[in-house]
Structure 1
Amino acid sequence: MDAEAAAVRMTAWVRGRVQQVGFRWWTRSRALEIGLRGYASNLGDGRVQVVAQGSREQCEQLLALLRHGDTPGRVDGVTELWGKADTDYDGFAIR
């Protein structure tokens, strides 16, 4: 497997009005369409944390949708952190 196709892990923290508006379910649907594994969860400070694993290209697709897609609620900003895929997630979960 070449480096471009190697699995990566993207963790994104989404700020804005993203809780209680269906944002995690929307994110799950987009992630599954792209072919990613991971989860989306609400954080106590009002953000949503999205952990996605797949190819760099797939993760960048989801990141672009989180930033500029027709999301539920309102996204004020997204911060992401990249790393090596280290967990074998089963599908894409809502936590």
Structure 2
Amino acid sequence: MQSPAYLPSCTRKTYHFLIKLIQNAEVNEYEEGVEPTLEFVMTKKDITGSGAPATLLVFNNEVGFSRKNMDSICSVGRSTKKGKRHQGFIGEKELHDWLA
């Protein structure tokens, strides 16, 4: 797979990571009547202090995590995605898997 000119150093793993970010934004909850937006901004410096050569910022206008979402993220085996396979939620390969 050849990277587009504007993404000269992207690998297959990078594309999968970006696709996961888009898929996650797609299944977010949005206020009624709000058109969902998603924006990627790449800085030329490391604003995280992690030693990275750049920083990827991801913005969208979702309603955000609920208490139930936070409890699920912090609890093994209690995913809020359970039983939603028919809606496209599979509960596999989370973002941290793509970063490894």
TM-score > 0.5, shorter chain as reference? no
What's the TM-score once normalised by structure 2's chain length?
0.34
Structure of higher CA gyration radius = 2
Greater relative contact order (Cα < 8 A, sep 6+): 1
